[in-house]
Amino acid sequence: MSGFRNIFIKTFYKIGSFVPTRLLLNITNQMLIIPFYHIISDENVPHIRHLYSIKSVKRFMHDLDFLLKVFKPLDYIEFQELARNNKRPVKPSFFLTFDDGLKEFHDIIAPILIQKGIPAICFLNSDFIDNKDLFYRYKASLLIDYLVNNPKLISDKKVIDWVSTHSNRTKDISKLFLSILYQNKNYLDDFATLINYNFKEYLSIHKPYLTSNQIHSLKNKGFFFGAHSIDHPEYRFIDFGEQIRQTKGSIESICARFSLDYKTFSFPFTDYKVSKQFFNKVYNDNIADISFGCAGQKKEIFSNHFQRISFEMDYLTAKEIYNSELLYFVFKAFLGKNIIKR
Ligand SMILES: [Zn+2]
């Protein structure tokens, strides 16, 4: 998300929470909201806890109660119908989405959604299903966690030497791990080898991702699935050919494995700086029917591409996040900046 929007929401969320949501909806006429989450858990999950705040079950239930009070839940079929006809719902509606295909979607989230009668879609990385591999950012969080629990390692000569050869600025090893980009993700594997940390072992013991069996069973219960790239690169840092390979490869693999008759995709990280050519190719060649970004409440020039709002911002409630997002929308409307230009 853009830095300014983030600051705006964090500054004005209290004001936002006092303004009635319906009033903001009437002013902005934004009848469709697409929230996204990654994980809900009461545990302090090691592969995520150094990356972003994890919403508890209680806070998630609170978010859902707010959504159900104001909006009608849509399932993917209803959503697809609106998108196909380039329409927006007449009544305030929400379409709930989850990224990264984590096991908590099966263990924690789905049972709550079934109980409340809320449909949802979960976006999967094709390389990570069945715990075959691990997202490089999760590796960064795990290594930070390991060093927090083994602080003596930080003064170990081989660790100090590694930091000095891999960093030109920071001496803070946590910051260094968090700054590693997709194209250098092997640095994290090298460091793990250096300190004898085994990611495969973590995968086999903790099984952070959904398994094929769980996905089949959730599909039979009415949940929807989409692709989230092969192994979660940030699209602006990979070339056009690789962007298409990651998108097409993950959609084809997931649709075939789980017999899906729709092709939907959510961008890993962000669609920021992804070109017009990319969207034209994806829609013209039928690579995807619908795609999702995460730039907040914004309009898109591509009618099949939808922006979503993260509901995992710090420890704010859904109402605080959504209402301040709409305040931001009003603010940007004055500047004529609510349409994403590509
Ligand atoms: Zn993701």
Task: Supply the pLDDT for residue 342.
Answer: 67
65 alpha carbon – ligand 1 mean position (Å): 25
Output DSSP code: residue 105: I
- Higher per-residue confidence, 194 vs 4: 194
Q: Which stretch of 167-176, 227-236, 285-294 has the lowest confidence by average pLDDT? A: 167-176
269 alpha carbon – ligand 1 mean position (Å): 6
Question: Can you give the pTM of this predicted structure?
Answer: 0.94
- 29: phi > 0 → left, psi -120 to 50 → alpha, else beta; which? left
What CA–CA distance (Å, rounded) separates 6 from 103? 28
pLDDT at 13 exceeding the cut of 50: yes
Domains of the chain: which residue ranges?
A: 3-130+210-340, 136-204
56 alpha carbon – ligand 1 mean position (Å): 19
Burial (Cβ within 10 Å: 0-12, 13-18, ≥19) of residue 285: exposed
249 alpha carbon – ligand 1 mean position (Å): 16
Q: pLDDT tens digit string along 212-242? A: 999 999 999 999 999 999 999 999 999 999 9
Q: For 264, phi and psi rounded to 5 degrees? A: -130, 150
- Higher per-residue confidence, 216 vs 341: 216
What CA–CA distance (Å, rounded) separates 307 from 225? 18
The HSE-up count of residue 304 (CA atoms within 13 Å, CB side) is 19
281 alpha carbon – ligand 1 mean position (Å): 22
Helix (H) or strand (E) holding 67: helix 57-70
The domain made up of 3-130+210-340 has a fold known as: TIM Barrel (3.20.20)
141 alpha carbon – ligand 1 mean position (Å): 14
**Contacts with 88 (C-beta within 8 Å, 6 or more apart), sequence order:** 31, 32, 82
pLDDT at 24 exceeding the cut of 50: yes
115 alpha carbon – ligand 1 mean position (Å): 26
Please compute the mean of the pLDDT values over residues 199-218 and round it to a whole number: 98
109 alpha carbon – ligand 1 mean position (Å): 17
8 alpha carbon – ligand 1 mean position (Å): 23
239 alpha carbon – ligand 1 mean position (Å): 19
Task: Supply the pLDDT for residue 1.
Answer: 46
Confidence of residue 245 (pLDDT cuts 50, 70, 90): very high
pLDDT at 248 exceeding the cut of 60: yes
Residue percentage of the chain with pLDDT more than 90: 73
Residue percentage of the chain with pLDDT more than 70: 97
Task: Supply the pLDDT for residue 327.
Answer: 86
DSSP string for residues in 270-337:
--TT--HHHHHHHHHTTS-SEEEE-SSS-EESSTTEEE-EES-STT--HHHHHHHHHHHHHHHHHHT-
Average pLDDT score, the chain:
92
Q: pLDDT tens digit string along 64-110? A: 999 999 999 999 999 999 999 988 899 999 999 999 999 999 999 99
Please compute the mean of the pLDDT values over residues 284-311 and round it to a whole number: 89
Task: Supply the pLDDT for residue 128.
Answer: 98
Task: Supply the pLDDT for residue 30.
Answer: 86
- Higher per-residue confidence, 265 vs 23: 265
- Higher per-residue confidence, 335 vs 281: 281
What CA–CA distance (Å, rounded) separates 191 from 187? 6
335 alpha carbon – ligand 1 mean position (Å): 30
